[in-house]
Amino acid sequence: MRTTYMAKPNAVERKWYVIDAENQRVGRLATQIAAILRGKHKPEFTPHVDTGDFVVVVNVDKVVFAGNKMDTKVYRRHSGYPGGLKEVTARDLLQKHPERILYSAVKGMLPHNSLGAKQLTKLKLYAGPEHPHAAQQPIPLEVSTH
């Protein structure tokens, strides 16, 4: 009788990857990042265990959208108070807080529970080409988004 392999949370080896987001489409890039954060690229993937790796994304301010999404896509948030709905277009958000665009795209692709929240903490986003994670020796990762 064979049993299905179940990864143990303390036995998972985590790697660090660095991705350059320059001229990458947001949605296609986010799907690949979400798969790495979940650990779906590993043979020992277990759905209920955090088997994913760390992802450092640089040049987030240089991501692109397909079509007219730069002007038509609207990001909404609510303060919780009456009349507290805030709306901002992708173009304005890219200028003020470029990390939020990719963050929200990846967040929507992860499980909406405590496991997904834990996996999201392994995502590090930086607007420029520099990042403070050189000590972890991240492996450059080429993503194919075409």
Residue 54 domain flag: yes
Provide the pLDDT for residue 108.
Answer: 97
Q: Which domain holds residue 44?
A: 15-65+96-140
Query: What is the pLDDT averaged over residues 115-120?
Result: 97
Mean pLDDT, residues 14-41: 96
CA nearest neighbour of 27 among 107, 91, 89, 86: 107
Average pLDDT over all residues of the chain: 95
Do the domain assignments include residue 61? yes
Does some domain include residue 103?
yes
Residue 144 has pLDDT above 80, yes or no: no
Q: Tell me the angle at which helices 98-107 and 26-38 cross, rounded to the nearest 10 degrees.
A: 60
At 143 the pLDDT is 83
CB-based contact 19:37 (threshold 8 Å):
no
| The pair of three-digit structure tokens given for residue 78, joined into one six-digit string | 């609510």
**Count of domains forming the chain:** 1
- pLDDT > 90: percent of the chain: 92
pTM of the predicted model as reported, rounded to 2 decimal places? 0.93
pLDDT, average across residues 127-136: 95
Q: Checking DSSP bridges between strand 74-78 and strand 139-140, what pairing results, if any?
A: unpaired
Q: What CATH number is given to the structural domain containing 108?
A: 3.90.1180.10
Q: State which amino acid sits at residue 99.
A: E
Under the banding of pLDDT at 50, 70 and 90, the label for residue 2 is confident
Whether residue 6 is contained in a domain is answered as: no
Mean pLDDT of 3-20: 93
For residues 55 and 2, the model is more confident at: 55
The fraction of the chain above a pLDDT of 70, given in percent, is 99
The answer to the question of residue 79 being in a domain is no
Residue entry with tokens 């986003």 = 125
Q: Which pLDDT does position 132 carry in this prediction?
A: 97
Q: Where are the beta strands (DSSP E) in the chain?
A: 16-20, 54-58, 74-78, 85-89, 123-125, 139-140
Residue 28: inside a domain: yes
For 38-93, the pLDDT digits (tens) are: 999 999 999 999 999 999 999 999 999 999 999 999 999 999 999 999 999 999 99
